[in-house]
């Protein structure tokens, strides 16, 4: 294989392969210590149109000016997109809004986010419930939105105190899971995850004018097969196989932690009770779905059903056995998963959350935002909330749908949980298992391991030949490629890999009470090295504005592959990817690349455009490209940084180790200056005009010729002719070859 990666980058890649979520800091945009001011300036007629009853459901984004001022930073961005957001809140007097930085500016972001959700929190007299839930989830190491309070002014009029909540989109998942190439589903009522059948299209059903499971990424492919498989496993796996099978497709253990938070905070508006308001993201690094919480205002004593949420049974939270809630009921019916949930919720209320500190923080937040409530006219309109109601919102119920104060509810709910929770011991939790081959003879393995009763004893069980098994200790000491000491990530290295053999491994853990676990249930396979084909990622462009168009006239990202061997190589059993942790992302087409040949693939995320179009795009901000064999061994890979429009990045010479930027890219042709000159120079005949945008290109002398496109296919030919009719040709690069083998590059703009 041909790695062009420094040791530092390799370590970063290995960390990313671990699959463990990361947590960006709040930064200026979500700073909790201030209440920033956001100003929106929009045409008054447009604002009036947004508020008209017949337009409340509109998602049209109108041009506006955005100003952010937190006392230290004052930024103005224009234009931004501005519209209403939410469901029932659109019909409230205090409405919620969405600000989009990329509607009118391609790739536009502000402090790394493309959109802001400004939530009016009109149901909540404290304007703090959702904020408390977001903070608990993040403290609990769940990838949840960042949030803070802001003042909102529209056209210089104060519209009140708002909660600024991080929008969940491809930028969100990339910031948490390093990649954003997987399917992201927004799941709204009635998203109960019940099994409808094996056909993926069955899960594209509508509720009103939207899909229940709405795909937010990879929309051109519109492929629901991964969601259908997850739902199938969740609903139909036999009980004795559930843990093993579900662990293959879903991050169960983190979701058990989410259930614990939902039960503590009485979030009835999620999938467990109201089959509503959550996201599922197919993490291509781990190849598992991740649960992402969403919309947490109906919590902590808010009730519209007449249910005593403070004392509801923690093992019987869903509406009833006649209503399918498999994401909760199947987990509670499984002894092993139920025991782990029990220990999670017990840990959450007894040690993770310091309720004295939480109450102090709530008081501080209340005092910080009080001035902005006092002058908030819209705060009073929907339910008659007053400043007095706000001041009492921690320890007293408002009445109506607000049955408890926040602190009052947490006190009662915690006591109820402690009285109900079962005291069974849980098995060790083993998750985020990943490996990375660092040489032909060594592979590093890491895993996250947590036990109820310390210390944990963790070992790597492996077989080099498929029959004889060995065991070595794994360590969480910071010296075994395991991250920081004490972070619960354990590492070990398997040595003496056999080139022609697959290596198998599993992780074993036990605790001081003798509870044990072995995961995954089926051993992980490290593929045999085998003979590596001499294929190179030779050149690519991640921001193709107008360099070269595909056969449809689109300017898409592209990747050039070079065959550096003396023999032709069939590509049909190999894979191309933009995620080194997802080696089989896109299978190469049935095509044989000749010795010394070049082939161009369009990374446009739309395989329906043709067999040379991948199911992924490249990021101009930097990411990865890899070629993998049929056994998923790496053939060539590169991790690259930010790219510039119409500047390609490639090997200085075909197949060499040095990478350079090309101001004059050479897609589908050699990177070697000599080779380029050989094609472009005077080699017995001349093409003119070249580049061409007319209907005819002239040849300097009568010749027999064939015209090849960048895929090596003949698209035109003639005998004893002095011109080429290009009226039917697409924009792009072509090679004109005479009978004697003389050749010229032809560029059609």
Residues 594-634 have pLDDT tens digits of 888 899 999 998 888 889 999 999 988 888 999 998 878 88
Minimum mean pLDDT range among 41-45, 492-496, 744-748: 744-748
Model confidence band, residue 748 (pLDDT cutoffs 50, 70, 90): confident
User: Contact, 185 vs 290, CB < 8 A?
Assistant: no
Q: Which of 19, 10, 156 is nearest to 581 (CA)?
A: 19
pLDDT at 514: 96
Residues 261-285 have pLDDT tens digits of 999 999 999 999 999 999 999 998 8
Supply φ then ψ for residue 172, to 5 degrees: -60, -50
Give yes or no for residue 552 having a pLDDT over 80.
yes
Q: What is the CATH number of domain 681-748?
A: 2.60.40
Model confidence band, residue 120 (pLDDT cutoffs 50, 70, 90): very high
Give yes or no for residue 723 having a pLDDT over 90.
no
pLDDT at 549: 87
* DSSP helix/strand/coil, 366: helix
User: Contact, 581 vs 642, CB < 8 A?
Assistant: no
What percent of the chain has pLDDT above 70? Answer: 95
Q: How many CA atoms lie within 13 A of 483 on its CB side?
A: 18
Average pLDDT (554-565) is 92
Model confidence band, residue 491 (pLDDT cutoffs 50, 70, 90): very high
Model confidence band, residue 681 (pLDDT cutoffs 50, 70, 90): very low
* Cα–Cα distance measured from residue 449 to residue 508, given in angstroms and rounded to the nearest whole number: 9
Q: What is the CATH number of domain 535-673?
A: 2.60.40
Question: Facing residues of 491 across strands?
Answer: 446, 475
Place of tokens 């003042």: 151
Query: What are the distances in angstroms from CA 186 to CA 52, 56, 204, 543, 705?
Result: 27, 21, 12, 29, 55
Q: How many CA atoms lie within 13 A of 166 on its CB side?
A: 32
Residues 499-514 have pLDDT tens digits of 889 999 999 999 999 9
pLDDT at 608: 86
* DSSP helix/strand/coil, 157: strand
pLDDT at 234: 98
pLDDT at 658: 83
Highest mean pLDDT among 8-22, 245-259, 702-716: 245-259
pLDDT at 71: 94
Q: Which residue has the higher pLDDT, 675 or 57?
A: 57
* Cα–Cα distance measured from residue 452 to residue 336, given in angstroms and rounded to the nearest whole number: 13
User: Contact, 413 vs 353, CB < 8 A?
Assistant: no
Minimum mean pLDDT range among 155-159, 441-445, 668-672, 731-735: 731-735
Minimum mean pLDDT range among 412-416, 696-700, 738-742: 738-742
Q: Which of 428, 397, 197 is nearest to 301 (CA)?
A: 397
Give yes or no for residue 527 having a pLDDT over 90.
no
Model confidence band, residue 680 (pLDDT cutoffs 50, 70, 90): very low
pLDDT at 677: 34
Model confidence band, residue 710 (pLDDT cutoffs 50, 70, 90): low
Give yes or no for residue 46 having a pLDDT over 90.
yes
CA 413 to chain centre: 34
Give yes or no for residue 255 having a pLDDT over 60.
yes
Which residues does 209 contact at the CB level (< 8 Å), separation at least 6?
A: none
Which residues does 308 contact at the CB level (< 8 Å), separation at least 6?
A: none
Model confidence band, residue 684 (pLDDT cutoffs 50, 70, 90): low
Average pLDDT (667-671) is 86
Place of tokens 């089989």: 584
Q: Which of 126, 542, 135 is nearest to 354 (CA)?
A: 135
pLDDT at 678: 35
Average pLDDT (486-508) is 94
Residues 341-392 have pLDDT tens digits of 999 999 999 999 999 999 999 999 999 999 999 999 999 999 999 999 999 9
Give yes or no for residue 734 having a pLDDT over 90.
no
Helix count (H) and strand count (E) of the chain?
A: 13, 37
* Cα–Cα distance measured from residue 450 to residue 458, given in angstroms and rounded to the nearest whole number: 10
Crossing angle for the helix pair 252-265 and 406-420, nearest 10 degrees? 120
pLDDT at 292: 98
pLDDT at 704: 84
Q: Which of 166, 81, 157 is nearest to 378 (CA)?
A: 157
pLDDT at 68: 98
Average pLDDT of every residue of the chain: 90
Output the 3-class SS for 682-739. Answer: CCCCCEECCCECCCEEEEEEEEEEEEECCCCCEEEEEEEEEEEECCCCCCEEEEEEEC
Q: Kindly report the pTM of this predicted structure.
A: 0.82
Question: Facing residues of 247 across strands?
Answer: none
* Cα–Cα distance measured from residue 599 to residue 424, given in angstroms and rounded to the nearest whole number: 60
What percent of the chain has pLDDT above 90? Answer: 70
Model confidence band, residue 452 (pLDDT cutoffs 50, 70, 90): very high
Query: What are the distances in angstroms from CA 258 to CA 266, 270, 389, 407, 463?
Result: 12, 11, 30, 20, 36
Model confidence band, residue 10 (pLDDT cutoffs 50, 70, 90): very low
Residues in the chain: 749
Output the 3-class SS for 441-453. Answer: CCEEEEEEEECCC
pLDDT at 713: 66
Residues 578-594 have pLDDT tens digits of 988 788 899 999 999 88
The class (CATH top level) of 425-526 is mainly beta
Residue 576 burial by Cβ neighbours in a 10 Å radius (0-12, 13-18, 19+): buried
Q: Which of 257, 298, 295, 261 is nearest to 279 (CA)?
A: 295
- Containing H/E element for 211? strand 210-211
Q: Which residue has the higher pLDDT, 29 or 552?
A: 29
pLDDT at 17: 41
Query: What are the distances in angstroms from CA 519 to CA 21, 448, 506?
Result: 20, 11, 6
pLDDT at 8: 33
* Cα–Cα distance measured from residue 388 to residue 668, given in angstroms and rounded to the nearest whole number: 71
pLDDT at 12: 37
């Amino acid at each position: 294989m041909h790695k062009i990666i420094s040791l530092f980058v390799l370590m970063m890649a290995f960390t990313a392969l671990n699959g463990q979520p990361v947590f960006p800091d709040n930064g200026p945009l979500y700073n909790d210590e201030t209440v920033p001011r956001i100003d929106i300036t929009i045409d008054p007629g447009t604002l009036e149109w947004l508020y008209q009853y017949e337009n409340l459901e509109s998602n049209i984004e109108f041009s506006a000016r955005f100003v952010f001022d937190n006392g230290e930073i004052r930024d103005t961005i224009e234009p931004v997109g501005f519209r209403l957001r939410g469901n029932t809140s659109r019909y409230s007097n205090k409405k919620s809004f969405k600000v989009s930085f990329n509607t009118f500016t391609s790739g536009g972001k502000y402090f790394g986010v493309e959109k802001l959700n400004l939530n009016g929190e009109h149901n909540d007299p404290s304007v703090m419930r959702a904020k408390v839930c977001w903070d608990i989830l993040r403290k609990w190491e769940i990838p949840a939105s960042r949030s803070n309070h802001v003042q909102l002014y529209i056209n210089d009029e104060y519209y009140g105190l708002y909660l600024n909540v991080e929008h969940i989109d491809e930028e969100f998942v990339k910031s948490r899971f390093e990649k954003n190439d997987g399917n992201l589903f927004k799941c709204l009522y009635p998203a109960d995850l019940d099994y409808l059948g094996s056909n993926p299209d069955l899960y594209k059903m509508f509720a009103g004018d939207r899909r229940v499971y709405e795909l937010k990424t990879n929309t051109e492919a519109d492929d629901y097969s991964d969601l259908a498989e997850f739902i199938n496993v969740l609903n139909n796996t036999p009980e004795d196989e559930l843990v093993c099978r579900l662990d293959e497709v879903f991050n169960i253990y983190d979701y058990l932690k989410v259930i614990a938070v939902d039960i503590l905070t009485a979030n009835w508006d999620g999938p467990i009770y109201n089959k509503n308001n959550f996201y599922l993201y197919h993490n291509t690094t781990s190849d598992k779905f991740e649960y992402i919480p969403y919309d947490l205002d109906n919590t902590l004593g808010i009730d519209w059903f007449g249910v005593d949420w403070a004392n509801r049974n923690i093992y019987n939270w869903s509406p009833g056995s006649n209503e399918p809630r498999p994401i909760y009921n199947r987990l509670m019916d499984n002894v092993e998963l139920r025991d782990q949930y029990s220990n999670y919720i017990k840990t959450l209320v007894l040690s993770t959350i310091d309720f004295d500190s939480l109450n102090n923080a709530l008081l501080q937040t209340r005092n910080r935002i009080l001035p902005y409530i006092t002058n908030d006219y819209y705060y009073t309109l929907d339910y008659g909330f007053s400043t007095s109601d706000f001041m009492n919102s921690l320890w007293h119920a408002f009445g109506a749908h607000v049955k408890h104060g926040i602190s009052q509810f947490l006190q009662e709910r915690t006591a109820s949980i402690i009285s109900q929770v079962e005291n069974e011991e849980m098995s060790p939790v083993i998750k985020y298992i990943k490996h990375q081959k660092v040489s032909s003879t060594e592979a590093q393995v890491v895993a996250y391991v947590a036990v109820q009763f310390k210390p944990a004893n963790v070992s790597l069980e492996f077989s080099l030949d498929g029959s004889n098994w060995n065991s070595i200790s794994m360590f969480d000491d910071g010296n075994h490629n395991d991250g920081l000491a004490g972070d619960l990530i354990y590492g070990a290295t398997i040595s003496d890999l056999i080139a022609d053999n697959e290596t198998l491994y599993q992780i074993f853990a036990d605790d001081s009470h003798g509870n044990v676990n072995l995961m995954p249930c089926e051993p992980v396979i490290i593929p045999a090295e085998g003979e590596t084909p001499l294929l190179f990622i030779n050149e690519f462009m991640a921001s193709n504005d107008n360099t070269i168009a595909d056969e449809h006239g689109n300017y898409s990202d592209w990747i050039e592959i070079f065959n550096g061997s003396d023999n032709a190589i069939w590509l049909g059993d190999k894979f191309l990817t933009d995620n080194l942790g997802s080696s089989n992302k896109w299978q190469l087409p049935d095509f044989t690349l000749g010795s010394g040949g070049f082939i161009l693939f369009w990374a446009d995320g739309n395989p329906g455009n043709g067999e040379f179009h991948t199911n992924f795009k490249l990021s101009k901000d930097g990411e990865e490209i890899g070629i993998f064999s049929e056994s998923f061994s790496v053939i060539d890979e590169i991790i690259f940084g930010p790219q510039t429009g119409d500047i390609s990045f490639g090997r200085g010479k075909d197949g060499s180790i040095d990478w350079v930027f090309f101001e004059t890219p050479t897609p589908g042709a050699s990177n070697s200056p000599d080779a380029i000159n050989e094609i472009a120079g005077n080699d017995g005949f001349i093409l003119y005009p070249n580049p061409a945008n007319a209907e005819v290109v002239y040849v300097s002398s009568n010749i027999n010729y064939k015209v090849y496109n960048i895929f090596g296919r003949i698209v035109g030919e003639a005998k004893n002719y002095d011109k080429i009719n290009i009226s039917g040709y697409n924009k792009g690069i072509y090679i004109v070859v005479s009978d004697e083998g003389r050749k010229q590059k032809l560029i059609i703009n």
